[in-house]
């Protein structure tokens, strides 16, 4: 006899476990299936442990520049093993937290490999053998994994993906990072701060290519100033790895090919959805392996839903969590709950953050995208050097840029680079969700002295009213 539930969630990452919690909150009998660690990649091998690593690198950077703050520090050294141990401890704490949340919300956890046998049924192969589960609804939240280079698959020794880069067998002396999206740039920033000689190779014409062009240009100058080598419009044509290191043939922007030697290489060229061999072939419409869904997470099969990195992007943990709540509430509504009112996901209001040094954050359209969409725009740009708090912090590098519809005053996008901008971006995200215009933002009182005052000044600047520049 198969175990029966209202909802089964396949995958326990930030999309899956949040969906399960919301289902349980709404009174639905809920189960979750996980093949490895509760919390998924994000909590165990992604978002959180990388931030622990980057925090250690940030502290190390400040210690090396203690003199800038009137302090003296001698004999400063980085202990990579201890840094990694701290990061793994953070991941373990959060994994235990998710385990507690499952118990608190009376969610049944099935550990093992889940395979769909129909839109609302699956088998789980684990330590207990094979279990059969059925439900009224199933949410697929199987996430994604790092994409390998076809000619140089990761070996965990010299050629790494993010997973090895978080628990490195040794400190790289000369590191090649292929790809300059958030993952590539964060690891490049971490290892550069820790003392490695870092080269970043990006196929497109600028780093962090999804960001506003002004942000990309500023970040490249900053990272170059910090000692990195940045190669844009370039490609890695071949890699040979052995016990001594990595030899890479790199085609530069001018078409010239050179062979360069590195001790290690991190491949960060995108993701592959975990959707093969789980029974989806006839149940869902697929595009390049990603499950196609409506704004609420529905697939083409009644009762089958999908969220997170196994669906179209952006591939971000907070997007997955939001989709999880939306799908849970839509399911509850279908099952007769009249007190929930789910709203379909608006991808224009999803913020993105990159935790390099300096940090990068954005929401909405870039200036170029807004113009491509036919908007006449007003653009504000305020530098960190004009902000008292930034100067006091010794963090006067960066700017905040805002893009408005010149006709209606609608905030179309906001783009930031500098200290703690990943904490500031949510102000603009809330503004976009509330469909704010420049008038409301101008009339808002921002506390002094704070970095957030630059958000106000950028809005004022779009209309020729900036006060401190």
Structure tokens at 12: 């326990």
- How far, in Å, are 66, 200, 436, 440, 449 from residue 462 at the CA level? 37, 34, 15, 14, 22
Q: What is the reported pTM?
A: 0.95
**Nearest C-alpha neighbor of 321 from the set 16, 9, 7:** 16
> Distance between CA atoms of 120 and 8, rounded to whole angstroms?
8
For 464, the token pair is 């020729």
Q: List per-block mean pLDDT (blocks of 10 residues) for the chain, which spans 469 residues.
A: 89 98 98 95 91 96 95 93 96 95 97 97 93 97 95 94 94 97 97 97 97 98 98 97 96 96 97 96 95 97 98 96 98 97 94 97 98 98 98 98 98 98 98 96 98 98 97
pLDDT of the residue at 127: 83
pLDDT, position 128: 82
Q: Beta strands of 87-128 (E only): which ranges?
A: 108-111, 113-118, 121-126
Here the tokens at position 139 are: 């949410």
Specify whether 357 is catalytic.
no
On the CB side of 132, CA atoms within 13 Å amount to 4
In this predicted structure, what is the pLDDT of residue 1? 58
Paired tokens of 393 = 């912090």
Q: Give the three-class secondary structure for 178.
A: strand
Chain position carrying tokens 């550990």: 111
Peptide bond into 411 cis (omega under 30): no
The CA distance from 410 to 153, in Å, is 46
Task: Considering only the C-alpha atoms of the chain, give the largest distance between any 2 of them, rounded to a whole number of Å.
Answer: 72
| The pLDDT of residue 25 | 98
Q: Which residues contact 415 (CB under 8 A, 6 or more apart)?
A: 211, 212, 214, 215, 361, 362, 366, 400, 401, 402, 403
Nearest to residue 428, comparing CAs of 372, 380, 357? 380
Q: Give the pLDDT confidence score for residue 283 in this predicted structure.
A: 97
Burial of 270 (0-12, 13-18, 19+ CB in 10 A): middle
Token readout for 63 is 């210690």
The 257-262 sheet, strands edge to edge: 235-242, 245-251, 257-262
Cβ-proximal residues to 156 (8 Å cutoff; 6+ apart), any chain: 164, 169
State the residue for tokens 């360069």: 260
Active-site annotation holder among 318, 322, 448, 456: 448
């Amino acid at each position: 006899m198969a175990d029966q539930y209202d909802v089964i969630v396949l995958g326990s990452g930030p999309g899956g476990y949040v969906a399960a919690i919301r289902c349980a909150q709404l009174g639905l009998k809920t189960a979750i299936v996980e093949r490895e660690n509760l919390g998924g990649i994000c909590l165990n091998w992604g978002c959180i442990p990388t931030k622990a690593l980057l925090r250690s690198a940030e502290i190390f950077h400040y210690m090396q520049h203690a003199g800038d703050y009137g302090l003296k520090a001698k004999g400063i050294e980085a202990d990579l093993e201890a840094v990694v141990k701290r990061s793994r401890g953070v991941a373990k704490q959060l994994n235990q937290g998710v385990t507690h949340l499952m118990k608190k919300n009376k969610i049944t956890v099935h550990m093992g490999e889940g395979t769909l046998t129909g839109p609302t049924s699956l088998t789980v192969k684990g330590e207990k053998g094979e279990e059969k589960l059925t439900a009224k609804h199933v949410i697929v939240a199987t996430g994604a994994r790092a994409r390998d280079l076809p000619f140089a698959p990761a070996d965990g020794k010299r050629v790494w993906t993010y997973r090895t880069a978080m628990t490195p067998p040794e400190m790289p002396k000369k590191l090649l990072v292929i790809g300059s999206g958030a993952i590539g740039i964060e690891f490049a920033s971490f290892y550069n701060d820790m003392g490695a000689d870092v080269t970043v190779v990006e196929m497109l014409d600028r780093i962090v290519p999804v960001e506003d062009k002004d942000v990309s240009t500023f970040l490249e100058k900053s990272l170059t100033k910090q000692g990195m080598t940045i190669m844009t419009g370039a490609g890695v044509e071949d890699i040979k790895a052995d016990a001594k290191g990595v030899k890479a043939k790199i085609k530069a922007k001018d078409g010239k090919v050179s062979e360069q030697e590195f001790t290690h290489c991190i491949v960060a060229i995108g993701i592959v959805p975990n959707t093969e061999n789980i029974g989806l072939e006839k149940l869902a419409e697929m595009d390049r392996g990603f499950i196609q869904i409506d704004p609420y997470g529905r697939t083409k099969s009644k009762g089958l839903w999908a969220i997170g990195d196994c669906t179209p992007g952006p591939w971000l943990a907070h997007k997955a969590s939001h989709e999880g709540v939306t799908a849970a509430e839509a399911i509850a509504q279908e099952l007769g709950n009249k007190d929930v009112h789910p709203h379909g996901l608006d991808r224009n209001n999803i913020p993105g953050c990159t935790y390099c040094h300096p940090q990068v954050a954005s929401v909405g359209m870039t200036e170029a995208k807004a113009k491509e969409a036919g908007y006449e725009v007003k653009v504000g740009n305020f530098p960190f050097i004009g902000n008292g708090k930034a100067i006091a912090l010794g963090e006067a590098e960066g700017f905040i840029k805002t893009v408005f519809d010149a006709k209606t005053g609608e905030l179309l996008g906001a783009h930031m680079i500098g200290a703690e901008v990943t904490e500031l971006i949510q102000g603009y995200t809330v503004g976009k969700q509330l469909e704010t215009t420049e008038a409301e933002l101008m009339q808002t009182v921002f506390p002094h002295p704070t970095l957030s005052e630059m958000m106000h000044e950028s809005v004022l600047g779009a209309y020729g009213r900036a006060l401190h520049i």
